[in-house]
Amino acid sequence: MNINKLKPIPKYIEKKILALDKQIAPNRRGLRFYAYITTIDKDIAKVTVALRNKGKAVHIKQVCVHALNDERAYVSDIEYNYLGISAYRVGWYDEGFKYRYNMRPYYNDGIWYNAPFKYYNPYAPIVNQEYVLKHDRFKYSQADKYPCQHFIKYLRLYLQYPQIEYLVKAGLTKFIDSITILKKIDKYQDILEHPASMKRVMKKDLEKIKKNYGFDRKTELTNAKAAVVKALPIEEKEVVFVMDRFGYSKILDKNTYERNEETVLKEYRHIVHCIIVQILRYNNCCLNGDCLYRFILSRIGSCRNLVGCAGKTPERK
């Protein structure tokens, strides 16, 4: 960036600075800093201005410039005070402020110098943060909601990690400087947007599970068709289905029924002689030739595989 292409403070910016100063410092005492965003030599830059009152007069001057694509800071008429109570000193000799022995301060010569970025970055509220949103590459950067002091640093991080805008939307501006979090957000976003990345992560996780918890197989997988044994069909069996007057039912084999025929005839209302022919989930039983009953297998008792049965109810004596 060519600092010589820096233009004077625009009038509308000066009005915004004075209006903001009335809100922040109504007493108008001491040295105050404000900033505005502009374009210098086709590069976005933050220009910090110093403001001080002398009587009713207000004096404003440009003291620091931080550009997006320049690691250096440009300073003029300002000094970082390492040992003083105030962090910065600004020279106002040409504005008529008095100094000891009426001598011009050595740092007040009106020339722009290179300086370390981290030292010459005073806290200064920015009056036009929305200016950055006019550029296409920062259209969705949420730069207008980010704190002002490290504004240029935020724009640099956004160009490298666009997902930083999610932290600003969530109000987590304290975590923006964490490169680890930004890399994780980038990684998770890539997983969600690309199926190939998701498959790689799944494969990696499965290999990790196999390594930590896997053990050798105790069986062997072979393509042996001859070893397949088909299940034998169900053997047809003659049984007796009985149901009492409360609807409770069960299956009796033929021998049991014949031994206890008298007792069964007294206690059960419906008695059907049937044959198990197939395994189903439900069974249909035809009682008296025209009544259809359905009962669930769980009520069959010891035989849960009864299918369909048909028969006649014996006459009671």
What is the tens place of the pLDDT at every residue in 219-255?
877 776 666 666 666 666 778 888 888 888 888 888 8
Nearest to 45 by CA among 146, 156, 176: 156
Per-residue pLDDT, 108: 85
Q: Do residues 110 and 100 lie in contact, with contact meaning Cβ atoms separated by under 8 Å?
A: no
pLDDT confidence of residue 12: 92
Please choose, from the candidates 157, 212, 166, the residue with its C-alpha nearest in 3D space to the C-alpha of residue 192.
166
Token duo for residue 181: 């979090």
Residue 166's identity, in one-letter code, is Y
Return the pLDDT at 285.
43
Contact 124, 134 (CB under 8 A): no
Cα(260)–Cα(86) distance, integer angstroms: 110
Helix axes 195-213, 179-193, angle to 10 degrees: 110
Q: What is the pLDDT of residue 109?
A: 84
Beta strands in 55-170 (DSSP E): 57-67, 73-75, 78-80, 88-90, 113-115
**From residue 108, how far is each of 98, 143, 221, 269, 291 by CA, in Å?**
13, 33, 87, 116, 112
Q: Could you tell me the pLDDT band of residue 167, with boundaries at 50, 70 and 90?
A: confident
Q: Are 68 and 44 in contact (CB under 8 A)?
A: yes
Contacts of 80 (CB under 8 A, 6+ apart): 87, 88, 115, 119, 120
b/e per residue 137-173 (b: at least 16 CB within 10 A): ebeebbbeebebbbbbbbbebbeebbbbbebbeeeeb
* pTM more than 0.85: no
Q: Return the bridge partners of 34, or none.
A: 49
When mean pLDDT is compared over 60-64, 101-105, 237-241, 281-285, the highest value belongs to 60-64
Say if residue 10's pLDDT is above 70. Answer: yes
Among 29-43, 163-177, 270-284, name the most confident range: 29-43
Beta bridge partners of 67: 45
Contacts of residue 184, defined as CB under 8 A and 6 or more positions apart, other chains included, come to none
Kindly state the percentage of the chain with pLDDT values over 70: 75
Q: Which residues contact 291 (CB under 8 A, 6 or more apart)?
A: none
Share in percent of the chain as helix, strand, coil (round to 5): 35, 25, 40
Higher-pLDDT residue of 297, 1: 1
Neighbours of 111 (CB within 10 A): 9
Q: Are 238 and 273 in contact (CB under 8 A)?
A: yes
pLDDT at 228: 64
Q: Answer whether residue 291 shows pLDDT above 60.
A: no
Q: For residue 110, what is the DSSP state? A: -
Q: Supply the pLDDT for residue 307.
A: 37
Residues 6+ apart with CB under 8 A from 86: 31
Poorest-confidence range of 36-50, 186-200, 219-233?
Answer: 219-233
Q: How does DSSP classify residue 260?
A: T
